[in-house]
Amino acid sequence: MKAVKTFGLVLFLVGFGIFNATFFTANYQLTNQIITNQIGDQEKVSLFKSNSEVLDKTISSNFTFVSELEKTFEKINEVQLDKFSISDGEIDKIINANNESFSLESLAVLGDGELADYKRKTFNDYGNWLDGRTFNSKEEMKTQVSQVVENIKKYQIVNEKGFDQYKIKDLKYSLTKASAIGPVANNPTLFLVLTYVLCIIGAFLYIVPKINDGPPGIKNNGIFHSAMKNTGWLGILTGAFLIAFYIVLYFYPEYMTNWIIMVDPISQFLKGSDAGRFFLYGFIYTLCILVMGARMIIKYRHSKYQIVRTISVMFFQTAFAFLIPEILLRLNQPYFDFKNIWPLDYDFFFDNELDTLLASGSLGIFMLGWGIALIIIGVPVFVYFFGKRWYCSWVCGCGGLAETLGDPYRQLSDKSLKAWKVERWMIHSVLVFAVVMTGGVLYTYWTGNSQVFGFSTYDVRSVYGAWIGAGFAGVVGTGFYPLMGNRVWCRFGCPLAAYLGIIQRFKSRFRITTNGGQCISCGNCSTYCEMGIDVRWYAQRGQNIIRSSCVGCGVCSSVCPRGVLNLENKDPKGRFNEPILIGNNGVQIKK
């Protein structure tokens, strides 16, 4: 069996090595047809062609190719701003044409013709509030006029005549992917086999023999001496890779086009179109849960609860989070994850999401109603009967990845009182942030006004998406598995976990009961608690564990050698009971 595991490890490392090597192996060739197809607007197509220095050239580095694209966009915007914006000299003419009060009629000094008409129109759109306003000095007037001109440059000219930052981000990715040539682009299926298939086979060959490693049950096996499982060099290297992967995925997808091209055949099969970065992410995410889910089942095969729970998260991730949404796209229906719940699904109430659902007929209306019903009815009802474990440990994709891929790192969670205090402040602050952000988004959707108390609701949701949705949930939430344990996001950041936890703390039948008379203080329960709960402290005193952070994974019960801990859904009366000690003969010891 050792030979099988070694062979499996070699296969996995070969596949993983090829996967990483393809990041650097693509060549890129930008053609007229690619520019036309990806940009669309003929005026901008002409601008791009006339300003690009890499057209029809073969570039051997994605870093060089992307850099050249950035230079092209920057050059185009400079040319367009110089042509269509009001110059400093023209601003001076406008100021000199006014007295103490500003008049839009002074814009006549800009002259005649289409270009002058465009400048007057944009100034009217952004600066009509200046008309008739009195200023104390010419300098004060110039300051205000200059600010209007800057807003025109930032929000009108760059967007209409050039390329804004969001369009540039999308085009850098789409142009890079479409321009890729070389082995991966020519043979995506071959590289799909050489990477993913080899990794999967290798992982299973390494995992499955563990079923013969002695009798069922948890074995510590020197986890605190492991370079991978105790923040050693291997764990740090793994964490660094995960962090880098998420940063590239969320913020620089143009550099991972070869990885995305490899899964194009799968995407074509499921939804009839090429893959995007989030299809790649969903594919890898699902594979990790399935492969490491098999490991989880083998490791905890002595516990029926763990086996069923693991199969549950494998099913919900594969069917509800990956396959069904992609198949819906193939049927020309909205992409929709039926198990994702606001505020974890923070963009559920965004205007583009609502417009898409409302425009999709009865199915879209059902999806919208389903999502709202889960928030206001499903969550309270299910948490009351089953605790937050029904979602966090049985359904949620974030929890599914944490329980499977992150299981080897669960002992790294911080159990200190200080960590618990930080956790409470952070997770509830994110919940408040999500509520405020969503409130602003809905206010803008209903009123059309994007300003609330001087803040732009678009800026607020952009900050939330970048720092919480991508940075915290992705980069930190998963990348820090080997550094801080497997539930960093669930414990410190998930707003849905905070919402579920508030209900569980005060209005739930779920609890973990303990038998203090049987506890031998081995500490397994606390060591393996991924949520940083000092379970042993409760077990020694025979106290029920009622914590809002508890996700009910049941691992504390599974690793207990004495059967001290039991997950129960009982009548909530007496949930906060006094310690009950039970003797070795099973008789309650009276105080």
pLDDT in tens, 156-169: 898 889 998 889 99
Residue 572 pLDDT: 53
316 close to 400: Cβ distance less than 8 angstroms: yes
Does a structural domain hold residue 135? yes
Same domain, 60 and 141: yes
Same domain, 42 and 139: yes
Please state the rounded mean pLDDT for residues 422-430.
95
| Separation of first and last alpha carbons in the chain | 54
Same domain, 174 and 61: yes
Residue 571 pLDDT: 60
Report the C-alpha gap between 433 and 499 in whole angstroms.
13
Same domain, 167 and 200: no
Nearest alpha carbon to residue 86 among 65, 110, 66, 108: 110
Report the C-alpha gap between 15 and 194 in whole angstroms.
6
Same domain, 14 and 34: no
Sequence-distant (6+) residues with CB within 8 A of 330 are 270, 271, 272
| Residue of 369 and 577 predicted with greater confidence | 369
**Helix or strand (DSSP H, E) at 58:** strand 58-59
Residue 497 pLDDT: 96
Indicate the pLDDT class of residue 584, thresholds 50, 70 and 90.
Answer: very low
Report the C-alpha gap between 44 and 577 in whole angstroms.
71
Does a structural domain hold residue 161? yes
Report how many domains make up the chain: 3
Q: Domain end: 130, 161, 181, which one?
A: 181
Same domain, 150 and 54: yes
Same domain, 96 and 199: no
Q: What is the pLDDT of residues 96-147, one digit of tens each?
A: 998 888 999 899 999 889 999 999 999 998 888 888 888 888 899 999 999 9
Q: What is the pLDDT of residues 547-558, one digit of tens each?
A: 999 999 999 999
Please state the rounded mean pLDDT for residues 336-352.
95
* Exposed / middle / buried, residue 256 (Cβ in 10 Å: 0-12, 13-18, 19+): buried
Residue 574 pLDDT: 53
Same domain, 59 and 108: yes
Indicate the pLDDT class of residue 583, thresholds 50, 70 and 90.
Answer: very low
Q: What is the pLDDT of residues 236-254, one digit of tens each?
A: 999 999 999 999 999 999 9
pLDDT at 448 over 90: no
DSSP 3-state of 512: strand
Indicate the pLDDT class of residue 591, thresholds 50, 70 and 90.
Answer: very low
DSSP 3-state of 530: coil
CATH code (residue 555)? 3.30.70.20
48 close to 168: Cβ distance less than 8 angstroms: no
Phi/psi of residue 508, nearest 5 degrees: -145, 150
403 close to 307: Cβ distance less than 8 angstroms: no
Nearest alpha carbon to residue 473 among 500, 494, 497: 494
Report the C-alpha gap between 479 and 466 in whole angstroms.
16
Same domain, 176 and 57: yes
- Residue 360 amino acid letter: S
| Residue of 155 and 277 predicted with greater confidence | 277
- Residue 35 amino acid letter: I
- Residue 404 amino acid letter: T
Report the C-alpha gap between 159 and 49 in whole angstroms.
18
Same domain, 130 and 35: yes
Please state the rounded mean pLDDT for residues 60-79.
93
Residue 453 pLDDT: 84
Does a structural domain hold residue 162? yes
Give the relative orientation of helices 417-447 and 351-358 as an angle to the nearest 10 degrees: 60
**Which tokens belong to 557?**
């019960």
Sequence-distant (6+) residues with CB within 8 A of 335 are 325, 326, 328, 329
Report the C-alpha gap between 223 and 473 in whole angstroms.
26
Does a structural domain hold residue 15? yes
Sequence-distant (6+) residues with CB within 8 A of 160 are none
Domain range enclosing 50? 27-181
Cβ atoms within 10 Å of 285's Cβ, excluding its own: 20
473 close to 490: Cβ distance less than 8 angstroms: no
Same domain, 177 and 45: yes
Tell me the percentage of the chain whose pLDDT exceeds 70.
96
Does a structural domain hold residue 363? no
410 close to 526: Cβ distance less than 8 angstroms: no
Residue 489 pLDDT: 96
Tokens 């009622």, residue located = 546
Q: Domain end: 181, 201, 224, which one?
A: 181
Does a structural domain hold residue 466? no
Sequence-distant (6+) residues with CB within 8 A of 48 are 35, 39, 72, 76
Does a structural domain hold residue 309? no
Residue 375 pLDDT: 96
Does a structural domain hold residue 460? no
Same domain, 80 and 124: yes
pLDDT at 578 over 80: no
pLDDT at 499 over 90: yes
Report the C-alpha gap between 566 and 580 in whole angstroms.
14
Average pLDDT, the chain: 91
